[in-house]
Amino acid sequence: MRDLIVTENITLDGVIEATEGWFGPAGDENVDQSDVEAAVRKQREAADAFLVGRVTFEQMRGYWPQQTDDATGITEYLNSVSKYVVSRTMQDPGWEATTVLRGELLDEIQALKSRPGRDIVTTGSITLVGDLIAAGLVDEYRLFVYPVVLGHGRRLFTNATGLPRLRLVETLPFRSGTVLLRYREA
């Protein structure tokens, strides 16, 4: 069975809502980000499916396919990876290699996880991720923790009850001050 990986950029106080410009190199725009890019590239290579909610999908579809000078490889990856968007209203996704999942979330994700393949990664998609957590469908959390405290904003574990105990499986600090924390069920 494939793993469902939640990858989020998150502040020290748990905010994942990308507002107020906190998302980016910590403190200095000139900080070398090659170590972060290498970690993200490694994660992309381990995944062959990308799962998002409709709002995140529409935001990404409006940006990534138009990028022509992206040296990070994100554009190439997103244009070619199998994308799954959870939506009951979307008709034509308008982005190649995209499947719209319209059924019951638990059934759709369990079916996706049971197919042969590598990791399924989801990012952003605050409402969807909350639903995946509540349904017990998440196998791993990869949190890129930024050294920022906002004090407000939508958080990753809002109203999270019954969450299994997690164990830390990797800690990876970056030159920017951001730290990758990977957690799996204990």
Determine the pLDDT at residue 42.
Answer: 94
Predicted pLDDT of residue 23: 64
Enter the DSSP assignment of 44.
Answer: H
* pLDDT tens-digit readout, 14-46: 888 877 666 665 445 677 888 988 999 999 999
Average pLDDT, the chain: 89
pTM, rounded to two decimals: 0.91
Q: Which domains does the chain have, with CATH numbers?
A: 1-16+40-149 (3.40.430.10)
pLDDT digits (tens, 9 = 90+) for 146-178: 998 988 888 888 766 667 789 999 999 999 899
CA dist 89 to 17, 36, 54, 135, Å? 23, 35, 9, 22
